[in-house]
Structure 1
Amino acid sequence: MVGFPLLLIPLAIYFILAFLMPGVEWTAVLADVPMMSGATWRVTFSDALICGALFLLFLEILKATRTAARSIVDHLLSTLIFVGAMAAFITLPQAATSTFAILVVISFVDVIGGWSVSVRTASRDFSVQRLSD
């Protein structure tokens, strides 16, 4: 069974809203959170989407620590998602926003982090024993 690339979720949410609701305001306030300092933290839709993507990035890095054969397929799928997101960022006017650029960067960190963790974990699996004299 192939794992599902979790970072596809925030990218799909972005594209659904960008294409089906062309006038979507990424800076629309979702909530005003009063702080102890007396200030008010305004959480926007863009902030929530990026925070969700960062949480999913954490889960993807945890998935990368598995030493199963399917982890290579997971990394390939993550790489394809990054390439597709980068292509969309460069070519589609709906994707030319800071929110989408940050999602592309998160996807890039997933690719680099996943491959790095897998290589590091695999190198520990191969141990060489010295023969005693």
Structure 2
Amino acid sequence: MFAALPLLALPVLAYNLVALTLAGGFSSVEANIRMAEPLFNIAMTSTAQWPVTLGDILIAAGLIVLFIELLKSTTSRRTAIVNHALSMLLFVACLVEFLLAPAFATSTFFLLTLMVLLDVLAGFIVTIVTARRDVGFGVDPD
């Protein structure tokens, strides 16, 4: 049953937890500041410092999870269909949060929402293409 859950819910849930810990919760406009604060710096070989933010980490985690989700969508098991439906529900929830809650009107959450949309589209497209290959249409021999 856990295989049917969309893994992209993890970075979205992490963003929700960050948004809820802000003063004002979902109505806070400080989420953009929290996402852009450098957590640590990585020294590059060019002697430059690369500041890594919470938003960067969430986007990187989302991309890794999106790759795994795309691999999962190539299976034709029943859990894949449930996964697609749950991914669609996750996309609707993300879209509502993005449009209605000020704490979610950030580039980081927009990109996470876009990843969820791509997961939904890729899942349905892969399922349709796979189902089309499984159905054989015979040619009428005249």
Q: TM-score, normalised by structure 2?
A: 0.84
The separation in 2 between residues aligned to 1:43 and 1:129, in whole angstroms, is 57
Q: What letter corresponds to residue 44 of structure 1 in structure 2?
A: T
Q: Does 1:45 align with 2:63?
A: no
The separation in 2 between residues aligned to 1:43 and 1:114, in whole angstroms, is 31
SS at match of 1:66: coil
| Among candidates 66, 77, 91, match of residue 68 of structure 1 | 77
Q: Does 1:112 align with 2:113?
A: no
Match of 1:101 in 2: 110
SS at match of 1:42: strand
Match of 1:79 in 2: 88
The answer to which of 59-68 and 23-32 deviates more is 23-32
Q: Does 1:19 align with 2:46?
A: no
Any gaps of 5 or more consecutive residues in structure 2? 24-29
Q: Does 1:28 align with 2:37?
A: yes
SS at match of 1:37: coil
The separation in 2 between residues aligned to 1:32 and 1:132, in whole angstroms, is 70
Q: What letter corresponds to residue 13 of structure 1 in structure 2?
A: A
Match of 2:27 in 1: none
Shift of 1:91: 0.7
Shift of 1:32: 1.3
Shift of 1:100: 0.8
Question: Which structure features the higher share of helix residues?
Answer: 2
The separation in 1 between residues aligned to 2:137 and 2:40, in whole angstroms, is 56
Q: What letter corresponds to residue 11 of structure 1 in structure 2?
A: V
Match of 1:8 in 2: 9
Percent identity of the aligned residues?
A: 37
Q: TM-score, normalised by structure 1?
A: 0.89
- Aligned residues between the structures: 133
Any gaps of 5 or more consecutive residues in structure 1? none
Q: What letter corresponds to residue 27 of structure 1 in structure 2?
A: A
